Structure 1
Amino acid sequence: MAKPRRSPSRSAPSDVQGAWLRRGLNQPGGKLPLFDERGQRVKKATVEACLKAGWAERWFDNPLKPDWLVCRLTEAGRTALSGNVRDDETSADGTEDDARQGALI
């Protein structure tokens, strides 16, 4: 049975996502910051995209600020940052490998 295809956007973090994820590399437990380098809250869309891709995970709930997502970097996030992302479903240009796809049908 063929694996479900992953969207190309999930194979590597965007520049903004990568910058946020990299900040967790040297933090205890891989804790990701709630605020960027300028003191602004990290955009919720950035956090949610990284959670959905599996590069970050919710760590714990903040009882004082329940709307804040306290997250940490996952092993998948570390792998994505190192550039060793495996995307078995697509070739380098993002198209399906027709020969392999034909063999699966």
Structure 2
Amino acid sequence: MAKPSTNQLRYLERGLPQPGGKLPLFDEFGQEIDIRTIRACIKAGWAEPWFANPLKPDWLVCRLTDNGRDVLANIEASA
């Protein structure tokens, strides 16, 4: 199983406490999450598109998958 990069890990971890595993559009400093990070997490199966935002159709609203939760749990267990 692939291991997330530091940026991917930060992105995925922020979905853990959110209802439904909703992943953020912005980081803790208010900067938009890099779309390459989001797409890489989707490609790896750690995140999935959740719904389209009608006000901002270019924003990719995603949620954490079970696979993503497993990757985070495995990283935490090995730390």
Q: Work out whether the TM-score is over 0.5.
A: yes
In structure 2, what residue type is equivalent to 1:18?
A: L
Q: How far apart, in 1, do the equivalents of 2:35 and 2:70 lie?
A: 22
Matching residue within 2, 5, 24 for 1:14: 5
**Aligned counterpart, 2:52:** 61
In structure 1, what residue type is equivalent to 2:2?
A: S
1:10-89 to 2 correspondences below 5 Å: 11-83=2-74
Give CA-to-partner distance per residue, 1:1-49, whole Å, 9 cap, x none: xxxxxxxxx6111111001000000000000000001100000000000
In structure 1, what residue type is equivalent to 2:46?
A: W
- The structure that is helix-richer by fraction is 2
Q: Superposition RMSD on alpha carbons, in Å?
A: 1.1
Q: How far apart, in 1, do the equivalents of 2:66 and 2:3 lie?
A: 14
- Structure showing greater radius of gyration is 1
Matched pairs, number: 75
Percent sequence identity over matched residues?
A: 63
TM-score by length of 1: 0.69
